[in-house]
Amino acid sequence: MRAEIGRVSVAILAGGEGLRLGGEKAGLCLGGERLIDRALRRLAWLGEDRLVIVRRGQGLAVAEARLLEDLAPYEGPLAGLAAALQAARWPWVLVVGCDMPFIQRPVVEAMLELAEGCQAVVPRLHVGLEPLHALYHQTCLDRLYGALGRAERRLSVFLQGLAVRYLEEETIQRLDPLRRSFFNINTPQDLAHARALLAEEEAVRSARA
């Protein structure tokens, strides 16, 4: 099945505790909005089925999205992915981390174009794969359940058993030369850098106005 705008679910993984940041990642502010709200806004063009996946017991309020917990009794990205695929209204699900504030629409559109005839579409950079900025089909669920049952938590190992297509470095270079799609916030330094990048973007927009 093709992955088409309006027929793709969006799942944002928001369970990160942000221990190095002094607070949960989803609630951190960038440009006057929480990271989770920024992610939802930047991906709203994809469709109306939006899910936010949190760890069990996490207190997070979101608007215009369904709030789900990691698939019990498991935790971590694979459990979040399983919860998303299990609850999604569409067979294809774009899965991203809430700590990726500069997701670029052209990159996502290129992933959609690759989706037919496979189970996952994953960006592949020279530094490695980006499995938390990827498209997954619900046919992945059986393998996901098996991985969780074996206490496997590594997305790279999980991907090895799937029919995967890759968005390659040369395409990413053309669509997102600075690789900002894959910038994620893990430390106070990352957050400061994200604020500087946002200020730079706003200055460019003001200059063009």
List pLDDT tens digits, range 151-200. Answer: 888 888 899 889 999 999 999 999 999 999 999 999 999 999 999 999 98
Residue 88 has pLDDT above 90, yes or no: yes
CATH number for region 9-208:
3.90.550.10
Distance CA 168, CA 145 (A): 28
Q: How far apart are CA 156 and CA 154, in angstroms?
A: 5
Query: Residue 75 and residue 92: Cα distance in Å, rounded?
Result: 22
For residue 157, the model assigns a pLDDT of 87
Give 118-182 as a DSSP string: SSEEEEEETTEE-TTEEEEEGGGHHHHHHHHHTT---HHHHHTTS-EEEEEHHHHHHH-TT-GGG
Q: What is the mean pLDDT of the chain?
A: 92
pLDDT at 15: 85
Mean pLDDT of 118-142: 96
Considering only CA atoms, give the Rg of the chain: 16
Residue 17 has what pLDDT? 75
- Distance, in Å, from the CA atom of 44 to the CA atom of 73, rounded to the nearest integer, reads 30
Structure tokens belonging to residue 95:
């899965």
